[in-house]
Structure formats: C-alpha cells, structure tokens
C-alpha cells in the first residue's frame, strides 16, 4: 500500500492517469490530503469507482502518536510519533504572536555527531521521506485543530544530509493547490554542509536559512562539531557570504552557549570578529543540558550579557525565547528517552 502523502501533485497526476481517471482528479485528491483527510470516503467529489480503486492500492496514513507533552506555561506541545517501520521522531508545536510554528525532524537520528546534541548520540538510523515530514505537519494540525503557519526544520537530523527529500517536502508544502505555505514560511537549519548551501541558494532563495555556528574558532568548533573538520570556518563563512550576496537574505547564526566552552570573553570576541559586517543575525541559545554529554549551560544571564555586547558593537543578536521549559529539555530528548525505554 502506498501512502499518498509522499506524492507531489504531478506525481499524483501520473497515478490518477494510470488508473484511467482524468487528470483533474489529482488536484481534488491533493486538495483533500492537505485538508487533513485520511480516508478516501470523505472526499465527496470523487466518484465511487475511483475511491474503490484508490482503496485497493493506496492509503493516506497518519503517523502513530506515541506521546504528547503540553506546556502549561505557553501551550508548546512536543509530539513523539512512530513511523511505519517502528522508528520514532519528535516534532514540536509552538504558538507565537505571529502564528503557529512547527519544528520537524528530517532524519531518524543524525550522523553529524555534535558533542552537545542529543539527536546524534545513537547515530543515524535513516533519512525520512518527504511524506514523513509532511505527516508531522498534517498530524500536528489535526491534533491541535490549528493551522500551521511556519515550519522550521530544526528537529532531529541534518536536513542538508537528506537534501533530496527535504526539497520535495518544501515544494509539496509550497504547492498552492495544497498546503500553500509560502517559501518564506520555511526555515532550514544546517550544521554547515557547505556544498549544499550554494545549491540551496539556487533552489530555494526565499527560504530562511539558519547556520549552527556554536564556536567561532577552527579549533573550538572542531572540538564540538566534527563537521568542522570537513567544512572548516575558513570555507563555511565565505560560502555564507556568497549565499547572502546571491539571495540578499539575512542568515541566522545559531550559537548554543556552553559554560566554559564557548561563552568566555575571548569566544565572544572571536564571534564578533567572525560575523561583523555580514548580513546576519546571531541567535544565542542557552544550552539545553543533555546529561549524557556532560556540558553545562552558560545560563540566560550570560546569554543576555553577550547579546548586549554584540548589539552594542553593531551585530544584530537575540536570546532565543525558551518555549515549553516545563516539558523536557533539549530537542531529541523525548526520542532518546523513548528508545531507552524500548531497550531496557
């Protein structure tokens, strides 16, 4: 049985034609899928013969919801979903004044191995399909009964390590016949897979890009982010400059502050020197502590101090708002907790 959430409109058209139906049926079907329907029976404008045929070989599957935790502070909800093959992925729903945001995972696990991150502790299991990314959004819309206005690809996984499915995901969710989310409603975060940054500027010049920086010296960055050994700052920063020149879009540098590792005065100085004059914005994140890693957070007060200093020296900076503080720490921890439970 094929899950139709993994097809673009043109791929649905091929399917519909192969079933002997007129091409316009694909648009109807696509429209229903993005209205959240999971049963062909509910698609009132499709003829009975076609519905029967669809039921023989296709489904529109929601993911299995394993757990949901809701914050009593700000309404943030963290979802743990099980994929058809048993792997679990985490997604987060956040309510902001300008709309609802969903943070999705792009891979089960991750192979980037950042020292402070929970998602990579068990390595990469596999890439998610576009359909599995789409499902995270559609199922959260269904669970919350609220529309999703903004999608951030900042959950488990390195989206640029799964570029093909990431691209399909964005294009399908952007299609005006379905979810119709504007290109500017997406934000993709990468640890810095340099060749993909240029490609992304070509393919998706309107999509927001965030770069996980976390250290401003080669030595410091290589110590906590193995990716820096393949794509050091000396090639990453020029690639980001090329990106901003080409797209004229401001990039966000994410900087998770770790006590004694990247929050010292000399680290702030190096950060300032590295990014000054760039079309960028620095997002300072007090580290979410992951007990397995042993790293300690620099705390919000230090984050605010660094933020003020950067701003004073002309580098736009903010401290990331903490959402859902009462319902678990860092991204990836829900999934990790769950996999431990299954192992034990």
Residues binding ligand SAH (CB under 6 A): 112, 114, 116-117, 154, 158, 189-191, 212, 214, 254, 256, 285, 287-288, 290, 330-331
The string over 152-166, giving b where at least 16 C-beta atoms fall within 10 Å of a residue's C-beta and e elsewhere, is bbbbbbbbbbbbebb
Asked if 283 and 255 touch (Cβ cutoff 8 Å), the reply is yes
What is the C-alpha separation between 221 and 203, in angstroms, rounded?
28
Closer residue to ligand SAH (CB): 21 or 162: 162
DSSP state of 92: E
Give the nearest distance from C-beta 212 to ligand SAH in angstroms.
Answer: 3
Give the nearest distance from C-beta 118 to ligand SAH in angstroms.
Answer: 6
Please say if 331 is a catalytic residue: yes
What is the C-alpha separation between 218 and 214, in angstroms, rounded?
11
Give the nearest distance from C-beta 335 to ligand SAH in angstroms.
Answer: 13
115 Cβ contact list (under 8 Å, min separation 6): 223, 224, 225, 293, 295
DSSP state of 330: S
What is the C-alpha separation between 30 and 51, in angstroms, rounded?
14
Catalytic residue among 13, 90, 141, 165: 90
List the structure tokens of 338.
């769950």
Closer residue to ligand SAH (CB): 26 or 133: 133
Which strand (E) or helix (H) includes residue 96?
A: strand 88-96
Classified as helix, coil or strand, 280 is strand
What Å distances lie between residue 36 and 65, 139, 147, 202, CA to CA? 15, 8, 11, 31
Closer residue to ligand SAH (CB): 27 or 264: 264
Please say if 307 is a catalytic residue: no
Give the nearest distance from C-beta 270 to ligand SAH in angstroms.
Answer: 18
Question: Vertex 73, ends 338 and 321: CA angle to 5°?
Answer: 85
What is the C-alpha separation between 125 and 109, in angstroms, rounded?
5
What is the C-alpha separation between 107 and 163, in angstroms, rounded?
11
Closer residue to ligand SAH (CB): 36 or 329: 329
Closer residue to ligand SAH (CB): 15 or 193: 193
Q: Nearest Cα to 79, choosing from 88, 87, 289, 322? A: 88
Give the nearest distance from C-beta 112 to ligand SAH in angstroms.
Answer: 6
Catalytic residue among 58, 103, 114, 331: 331
Closer residue to ligand SAH (CB): 132 or 158: 158
Give the nearest distance from C-beta 130 to ligand SAH in angstroms.
Answer: 17
DSSP state of 321: P
Closer residue to ligand SAH (CB): 122 or 175: 122
Give the nearest distance from C-beta 199 to ligand SAH in angstroms.
Answer: 16
What is the C-alpha separation between 147 and 179, in angstroms, rounded?
10
Task: For residue 56, count other CB atoms closer than 10 A to its CB.
Answer: 8
> Cα-flanking dihedrals φ and ψ of residue 300, to 5°?
-70, -35
User: Which residues are known to be catalytic?
Assistant: 90, 331
């Amino acid at each position: 049985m094929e899950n139709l959430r993994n097809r673009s409109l043109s791929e649905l058209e091929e399917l519909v034609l192969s079933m002997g139906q007129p091409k316009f049926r694909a648009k109807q079907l696509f429209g229903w899928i993005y209205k959240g329907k999971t049963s062909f029976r509910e698609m009132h404008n499709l003829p009975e013969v076609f519905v029967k045929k669809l039921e023989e070989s296709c489904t529109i599957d929601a993911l299995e919801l394993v757990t949901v935790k809701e914050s009593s502070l700000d309404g943030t909800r963290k979802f743990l979903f099980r994929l058809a093959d048993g792997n679990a992925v985490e997604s987060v729903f956040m309510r902001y004044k300008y709309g609802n945001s969903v943070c999705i995972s792009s891979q089960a696990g991750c192979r980037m191995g950042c020292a402070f991150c929970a998602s990579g502790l068990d390595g990469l299991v596999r890439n998610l399909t576009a359909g599995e990314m789409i499902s995270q959004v559609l199922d959260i819309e269904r669970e919350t009964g609220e529309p999703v206005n903004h999608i951030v690809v900042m959950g488990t996984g390195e989206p640029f390590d799964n570029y093909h499915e990431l691209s399909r995901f964005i294009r399908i969710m952007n299609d005006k016949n379905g979810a119709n989310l504007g290109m500017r409603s997406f934000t993709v975060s990468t640890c810095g897979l340099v060749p993909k940054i240029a490609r992304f500027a070509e393919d998706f010049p309107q999509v927001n890009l965030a770069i996980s920086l976390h250290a401003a010296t080669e030595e410091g960055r290589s110590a906590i982010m193995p990716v820096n050994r393949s794509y050091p700052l000396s090639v990453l920063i020029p690639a980001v400059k090329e990106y901003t020149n080409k797209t004229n879009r401001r990039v966000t540098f994410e900087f998770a502050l770790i006590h004694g590792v990247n929050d010292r005065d000399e680290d702030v100085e190096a950060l300032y020197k590295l990014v000054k004059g760039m079309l960028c914005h620095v997002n300072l994140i007090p580290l979410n502590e992951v007990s397995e890693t042993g790293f300690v957070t620099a705390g919000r007060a230090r984050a605010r101090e660094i933020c003020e200093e950067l701003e004073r020296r002309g580098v736009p900076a903010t401290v990331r708002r903490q959402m859902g503080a009462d319902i678990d720490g860092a991204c990836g921890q829900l999934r990790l907790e769950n996999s431990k439970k299954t192992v034990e």
